[in-house]
C-alpha cells in the first residue's frame, strides 16, 4: 500500500521511522527534527499534525523541561498488504515492510 504524502510529511515520517525503537515510538524534540530535515519548526509541527490526522502516528504530549517538554511519537502505520499475486498464490509476505512500501520512495 502506498500512502501519498507531501514531501515535508514524508521527510518527517522517515526521520521518525529511522529513530523509532522496537515499540514503534520515539521521543524527539521538534527542534531536532527541524535540524535533521532542514525544515522550520513551524513546518515540523504542521507535518506532525498532518501525519496524526492521517492516522500514521499518535502524539503523546509530555510536560517538563523547557517550554513543554519533548513529545513522544508512536508510529501507527497500517500493516502492509500482500501484492495481489501473492494473495492468489498464498505466498508469504515478510513484515514489517520497508518504508518505501508505505511512502512510495
CA distances from 81 to 16, 25, 74, 99 (A): 22, 22, 21, 13
Is 0.85 topped by the overall pTM? Answer: no
Pick the CATH number of 1-76 from 1.10.10.10, 1.10.3080.10, 3.40.50.970, 3.30.365.10: 1.10.10.10
> In the chain, what are the domain boundaries?
1-76
Per-residue pLDDT of the chain (105 residues; tens, 9 = 90+): 567 889 999 999 999 999 999 899 999 999 999 999 999 999 999 999 999 998 899 999 877 655 667 899 999 976 655 555 545 555 444 444 444 445 544
Amino acid at each position: 500500500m502506498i500512502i501519498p504524502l507531501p514531501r515535508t510529511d514524508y521527510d518527517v515520517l522517515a526521520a521518525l521511522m529511522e529513530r523509532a525503537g522496537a515499540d514503534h515510538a520515539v521521543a524527539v524534540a521538534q527542534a531536532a527534527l527541524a535540524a535533521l530535515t532542514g525544515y522550520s519548526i513551524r513546518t515540523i509541527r504542521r507535518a506532525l499534525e498532518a501525519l496524526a490526522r492521517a492516522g500514521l502516528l499518535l502524539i503523546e504530549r509530555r510536560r517538563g523541561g523547557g517550554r513543554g517538554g519533548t513529545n513522544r511519537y508512536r508510529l501507527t502505520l497500517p500493516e502492509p498488504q500482500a501484492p495481489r499475486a501473492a494473495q492468489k498464490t498464498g505466498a508469504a509476505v515478510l513484515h514489517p515492510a520497508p518504508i518505501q512500501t508505505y511512502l512510495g520512495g
